[in-house]
Structure 1
Amino acid sequence: MNYKLTSILFCIFLLTASVRVFSQKLQIIDAILDEPNNTIEIVYDLSGSNQAFSINLYYSNDGGKTFKGPVERVSGDVGVQILPGEAKKIYWNYFYEDEEFTGENLVFNIRATRMDFLGTTKVMGPKAALYSVLVPGLGDYKVRNGKSYWLVTAGTWGLMGSGLIARSGARKDYDNYLNATDVTTANQSFQSAQNKFKTFKTLNTIAIAIWAADVVGVFIKGNKNEKAGLTGKYSLDLNMAVLPGSNIPVAGLKVNF
């Protein structure tokens, strides 16, 4: 690990920045670096009605120009179903998240979303790809909030069905070729069998490609659902911030409601 962590990260600091939206208030209270355990603890207050939130955090290595995340090596009051309260704590293991972490030019961005705004219908995570392995398009129904994507199923099976019909025709034409009594009929039957078999292979290849793409797409979408907390599972995220050219830690906040 690169140990260029600036000295300002080794002390406790008080942040008074806060954001208030729709009677909800998020305020960063304290931050503590635990160097022996390679973790950073952040304490924050989330006030408002007894409404659950999804809390995630993204981080920037370029002073806040671009953000990455949500990060994964965290625990505490982050993820989904986080209720308002004082002294909420989040712990980030920065070493296992990023072995090259230095604390330089780093800004974090907290994002909070009310759970009722995420919708009541729970979707699946990456395991939904197994449904698409069994039936093309079925996994989409599990990860995309009720949308069935039946065209994926119909299209894939339609192509495979058409391919099987072409293959059956190729076999019949090949039998005609074997049973032909003259050269002209034999040549025509053989050529027809070849063309239909090529059609079978083409349609089958396209169908398999669509099926495989659907499985991959469902896995990616399911993974995003899990990270966003839409599957009912916890996705824990956090990071720390230091603005370039500054001797004082600074927090960048963004709250979505």
Structure 2
Amino acid sequence: MTTSQDFSDQPQDDAVELSQWERFGVDTSAPHSARVYDYWLGGKTNFPPDRAMGQAIEQAVPSVKAMAKENRAFQGRAVRYLAREQGIHQFLDLGTGIPTSPNTHEIAEAVSPDTRVVYVDNDPIVLAHARALMVSTPASRTTYIHADLGKPAELLGDPALTSTLDLDRPVGLLMIAVLMLVADEDDPWAKVAALRDALPSGSCLALTHPTQDFDPESVAKVAEAARAGGMTLVPRTREEVAGFFDGWELIEPGVAPVMAWRPDGEPPADPTAAYYWGGVARKL
């Protein structure tokens, strides 16, 4: 994949003329979830408003950076599981965020060199980086779509998706820490169901979602900090998260704290130390 301008070797973004990014439709005046997450993971693709939001949330939950890394680790384990154990060689990664190696295609290609991956996000800055950094092997294929989760029919009909993925074969649908950005009144369960209904038998859904179940007071402060910064961030209970898998067969251990979902090595001493539910389910 190529792009007219490669931002991968740029210095910290606030040292770059902000107008350069604004030409690509990037709103540098307000925080964006992808860039806040990038800040927590130690990336460089974030602006002062993103860091301010990340720090405000960190005041409420001091271990949020470690939680973000645990969430990312779940993604790696889930992708490897889908590729190795379920034989899935094509993935639809929604809310992919700023590229952070190893990315979905890198993890899957280590299992199957002919993997195909479609990345989806709605931040123009993700597009700039994705085209520069998400380069596949000669045997595989990756592409990026700038699209909105709120319009599943439009997404599923995008020519870049239909030319990359074969929707008659099993697909691994990844929704890692993205559904909290959709308010209840916008019915995220219906949007996920529309995507699941379009996939054939043997497809799998892997998702994570922040929750208030483990520390209601702190997570309430996080949600309030997000609202104050103009962001939607809706934590959900285990029951609400389980609803996203409705009708599909949950893979053991079911909906579990992300740290407890098929951990590498010894089980964590406190699996609720990361405030996310995670799970994987298969369409029969």
Shorter-normalised TM range: under 0.3
Larger relative contact order (CA 8 Å, sep ≥ 6): 1
Higher percent of residues as strand: 1
TM-score (norm 1): 0.24
